[in-house]
Amino acid sequence: MKTIKSILSWVVPILIGLAIALLVRSFLFEIVRVDGTSMEPNLVNNERVFVFKQDKIKHLSVIVFDAYGADPQATPGTEYVKRVIGMPGDKISYKDGNLYVNNKLIPQKFISSYERKTGTEIGAEATNWNLASVAKARGWGNKSETVPAGEYFVLGDHRSVSNDSRYWGFVKKSEVMGVVKVPFWGSTTAKKNVNDRTGDY
């Protein structure tokens, strides 16, 4: 009898701890690893970041989402990290090296001048584009002039290499895991450009 009580005395706390950890991971936040270079220079390959699942998504938020539901070439279990440029109802356009949301110039202080300009073009056929024209150029079907309800238009910060909404369309809200935050041990620049840029819109 004492043996059973002794076992339970350490098994029960472990089980409770695991249950709490599971609840936190499922509903509050988790730590994920950045895979790839599409968010450089702000997030680099293999960097660990927090994903907060209850945070409100805003313009210029960085999010993690299930890529399998968005990118036709993604395999099950693949997750992408991108920045939200367009919210539901927004009009997105790129003209003469500048990015506009609802005809408002987005300063994009979080990336270089090159990525704002040359990197954001979509080949020679789409140096200037809007949602309808890029959808037609890349064949992702939706010819809407605005971001549909319950969906987002996302771009990687490293525009010249990023596989993002320019190529396969919108991200459904149901596919979003949460909002990315660089932890306290991250660089000052990364924390500023990832955690604190929503006020730029």
Domain spans, the chain: 34-200
Q: Which residue in 169, 163, 144, 157 sits closest to 91, CA to CA?
A: 144
Report d(CA 134, CA 141) in Å as an integer.
10
Residue 40, SS3 per DSSP: coil
Mean pLDDT of 161-187: 94
> Would residue 82 show up in a list of annotated catalytic residues for this protein?
yes
Catalytic residue among 38, 61, 93, 165: 38
34-200: CATH number: 2.10.109.10
pLDDT for 148: 94
What average pLDDT does the structure give for the chain? 87
In this structure, are strands 176-181 and 48-52 parallel, antiparallel, or unpaired?
antiparallel
> Would residue 187 show up in a list of annotated catalytic residues for this protein?
no
Confidence band for 124, pLDDT divided at 50, 70 and 90: low
pLDDT for 145: 84
The reported pTM is 0.85
Mean pLDDT of 169-187: 94
Catalytic residue among 2, 61, 82, 109: 82
pLDDT for residue 23 is more than 90: no
* Cβ 87 vs Cβ 59: under 8 Å: yes
Confidence band for 138, pLDDT divided at 50, 70 and 90: confident
Report d(CA 180, CA 189) in Å as an integer.
15
